[in-house]
Amino acid sequence: MFSLLRSMWLTFLHVFHKRETIQYPEQKAILPTRWRGRIVLSRDPDGGERCVACNLCAAACPVDCIALQATEDPTGRRYPEFFRINFSRCIFCGFCEDACPTYAIQLIPDFEMGEYNRQNLVYEKKDLLINGQGKYHGYNYYKVAGLAIGGKGKGEAENEAPPVDIRSLIP
């Protein structure tokens, strides 16, 4: 009998506690920035597409829900011709983000992706590409990679010596 009353009393006390339940969807949950939600493709600080279509995200994906095709612009900069994620298969494990050498693919704190039609869960590049750097600021892959692209010649990247004069024999 005592135990019963004690339980009721304790339950009653919760009336005065801070509320954990929020009025979703009127009120939005505050998610940590590392939350693994919807996947986006970001851009580098100069506004160029970060994705270089290296296929590592697709290879890392345990459910094989990423498909893409690489292509190049006339200056040699590589980018995906198409980039497709089938979110009806995605398990939001974040392996793709771990595998990405350019910080292009990122999982963001957004989970509101419900659809009535499963076909609408197939996201193409136009659905994925955002106009910003996402979680990782300031990184530009082509600034550290040795490949020459438009606007960055050989030897102009970070930690790169100017091109070798192959006609010189001086050490």
Partner 1 sequence: MATIYIDDKSYEVPTGKNLLEACLTLGKDLPYFCWHPAMGSIGACRQCAVKVYKDDNDTKGKLFMSCMEQVRDGMRISIADMEAKEFRAHVIGWLMTNHPHDCAVCDEGGACHLQDMTVMTGHNYRAYRFDKRTYINQYLGPFINHEMNRCIQCYRCVRYYKDYAGGKDLDVFAAHNHLYFGRHEDGVLESEFSGNLVEVCPTGVFTDKTLKQHYTRKWDLTMAPSVCHHCSLGCNISAGERYGTLRNITNRYNGEVNGYFLCDRGRFGYEHVNHVGRIRKPLVRAQLPEATDKYTALQAAAAAFRTGSVIGIGSPRASLESNFMLKTLVGDDNFHDGVSDNEHDLVCLALKILKEGAARTPSLWEVEQADAVFILGEDLLNTAPMLALAVRQSVRKQPSLEHISKANIPVWQDAAVRELMQDEMGPLFIATLHDTKFEEIATHTYHDSPDAIARLGFAVANFIQVDFPEVPGLNEDEIQLARQIADTLMAAKKPLLISGTHCGSERVLMATANIANALVAKEKEAGIVLTLPECNSMGLAMLGGHRLESAFGAILNGYADTVIILENDLYRRANEGMVTNFLKTAKNVIVLDHLHNATTEVAQILLAAGTFAEADGTLINNEGRAQRFFQVYPTGEDLQESWRWLGELGTLLHHDRISHWHGFDDVLQAMVKEMPEFKGIDAVAPGTDFRIAGQKIPRAPHRFSGRTAMLANINVNEPKPPVDPDAPLSYTMEGYRGQPPSSIIPFFWAPGWNSSQATNKYQQEVGGHLKGGDPGLRLIKPDTSKTAPFTQTVPQKFQPLEGHLYMLQLHHIFGSEELSMHSPPIVERAPEPYVLLNEEDAIQMKLQEGQSLSFTIEGQVYQLPVKISPIIRSGTAGMPAGLPGIPYAELPAWAILNRELKWKQQPQTTY
Separation in Å, CA 14 to CA 5, 8, 92: 15, 10, 35
Residue with tokens 């606007």: 151
**Closer to partner 1 by Cβ: residue 31 or 147:** 147
Residue 83 near residue 51 (C-beta atoms within 8 A): yes
DSSP letter (8 states) at residue 126: H
**Closer to partner 1 by Cβ: residue 36 or 55:** 55
H/E stretch holding 3 = helix 2-13
Minimal distance, residue 102 CB to partner 1, in Å: 6
Residues 94-153 contacting partner 1, CB under 8 A: 101-102, 118-119, 121-122, 124, 141, 144-148
Binding mask 58-97 for partner 1 (x = CB under 8 A): xx-x-xxxxxxxxxx-----x-----xxx-xx--------
Residue 121 near residue 38 (C-beta atoms within 8 A): no
**Closer to partner 1 by Cβ: residue 34 or 118:** 118
Which amino acid appears at position 127 of this protein?
Answer: D
Which amino acid appears at position 71 of this protein?
Answer: T
**Closer to partner 1 by Cβ: residue 133 or 152:** 152
Give the residues lining the site for partner 1 (CB under 8 A).
Answer: 52-56, 58-59, 61, 63-72, 78, 84-86, 88-89, 101-102, 118-119, 121-122, 124, 141, 144-148, 154-155, 159-169, 171
